[in-house]
Structure 1
Amino acid sequence: MTEKFIRDALILWTTIDPIGTLAIFSALTAHMTATARRRTAIKATIYATVILFFSIVVGQLLLSAMGIRLISLQLAGGLILFLFGLKMIFGDMNKDARKVEDAGHDIAVFPLAVPSIATPGAIMAVILMTDNHVYSIPTQIGTTLIMLAIMLVTFLLMLAAGPIIRVIGNNGSAILVKVMGMILTALSIEFVMEALKISQWIGGDSITSAG
């Protein structure tokens, strides 16, 4: 049990990526006041937590009912993450954030809650780590508490974005988001390649079984 919880914590830390979220949050909110930045951090954390909790409770049932395999979710998430990474590399995130706000959209929802915090990898991870056919209810509750703890850390790091922005400045924030864009793009390719690899393996196995 302890080993599983440690493994779950490491996987969730990697997929939610509080440090990467901090970098993205710093770039997107560099033009905001401290109050607006704190309000955005609160909303983004709440939205992402609701999405992940929903995935834990009904994610597996919903995907099964719709006939969607987890690898399909991983492939779609990887493609979305790839496009978002390219946007970070070649776009102006501060300018884009202002456009989003002017259009009446909330950056706390996109791109902060999804796909920055509740990443495709995190959604897939919580569904797999709380599989109703494999893990007991107490074990699933333990995994959920670990997820909530990491979300709390993510929120606290976002609250620390103000001092970080003052230290690195807008130029440093822009450089940081470009680097994070490259990392997210590479991660998204890994998601896609892994999904395709699993899909080919399943297909090959099916053909072998049929033969």
Structure 2
Amino acid sequence: MDTGFFITAFVTLFVVIDPPGLAPLYLALTHGMDAALRRSIAIRACITAAILLTIFAAFGEAVLDFVGISMPAFRVAGGILLLLTALDMLFDRRSKRREDRAEEEEHPDPSVFPLAIPLIAGPGAIASMVLLSGQKPGIEGLALVIAVMLSVLVLVLALFLASGMMERLLGKTGINIVTRLLGMLLAALAVQFVLDGLRAYGFAG
């Protein structure tokens, strides 16, 4: 195994995916849900992200080209969708919707969006998988890149599952404060996604 490439790839994906930064977001998005539901959401999000990133590692930009989507367009769309989630967090719309649907059995499921896409498997992670798999062509290189990605997602899952301890430490007031702060950060991240996409098209300076 190419140890140098493994370390480089791991550091790249770790920085891009940012497992420590995702844990508070997961906590905010699943606030008020029972432990079993939160655990299933964490597992579903990581599995969905793993499948998506594996597809892009194997087929690269051909997947986007096949459906006629460019990476800049993917960034803009992901940014807009993420901005809507951020606004919900900032203005506490998610809590109000939960109260309105208190008698319903179903909960909003953030596992696919926005956790798996675009927070875990965002444009940056997808682009990194495409570039890394291009550096190591062949089955062995692909297997190595996927192994690196899975190791990072294991860390993501571990931090997600440990977030309940964080919730108990912060309490309800602390969670509300953190949710709004993270909503602001998510909004900034969403705008950055959009600007990156527009810049790639030459629409932003």
Amino acid at match of 1:167: L
SS at match of 2:136: coil
Counterpart for residue 182 of structure 1: 184
**1:73–1:124 Cα contact (<8 Å) kept:** no
Query: How far off is 1:23 after superposition?
Result: 0.9
TM-score computed with the length of structure 1 as normaliser: 0.78
Query: How far off is 1:93 after superposition?
Result: 3.8
Trace 1:1-211 onto structure 2 (pairs within 5 A): 4-96=5-97, 102=105, 106-131=109-134, 134-137=135-138, 138-200=140-202
Amino acid at match of 1:46: I
Question: For the residues of structure 2 that align with 1:129 and 1:166, how far apart are their CA atoms?
Answer: 39
Amino acid at match of 1:25: Y
* CA deviation profile, 1:100-156 (whole Å, cap 9, x unmatched): 98557533223332233222332233233323xx53123333222111111000100
Counterpart for residue 208 of structure 1: none
Q: Report the aligned-residue RMSD.
A: 2.8
Tell me, which stretches of 5 or more residues in structure 2 are unaligned? none
Question: For the residues of structure 2 that align with 1:53 and 1:36, how far apart are their CA atoms?
Answer: 26
TM-score computed with the length of structure 2 as normaliser: 0.80
Amino acid at match of 2:115: L
Query: How far off is 1:73 after superposition?
Result: 1.7
SS at match of 1:169: helix
Question: For the residues of structure 1 that align with 2:182 and 2:113, how far apart are their CA atoms?
Answer: 17
SS at match of 1:37: helix
**1:28–1:97 Cα contact (<8 Å) kept:** no
**1:81–1:188 Cα contact (<8 Å) kept:** yes
Question: For the residues of structure 2 that align with 1:76 and 1:130, how far apart are their CA atoms?
Answer: 24
CA spacing shift, 1:89–1:121, aligned 2, 3 Å: farther
Amino acid at match of 1:36: L
Question: For the residues of structure 1 that align with 2:16 and 2:29, how far apart are their CA atoms?
Answer: 20
CA spacing shift, 1:59–1:83, aligned 2, 3 Å: farther
Query: How far off is 1:94 after superposition?
Result: 4.2
Tell me, which stretches of 5 or more residues in structure 1 are unaligned? 202-211
Question: For the residues of structure 2 that align with 1:63 and 1:22, how far apart are their CA atoms?
Answer: 29
Percent identity of paired positions between Structure 1 and Structure 2: 34
**2:57–2:145 Cα contact (<8 Å) kept:** no
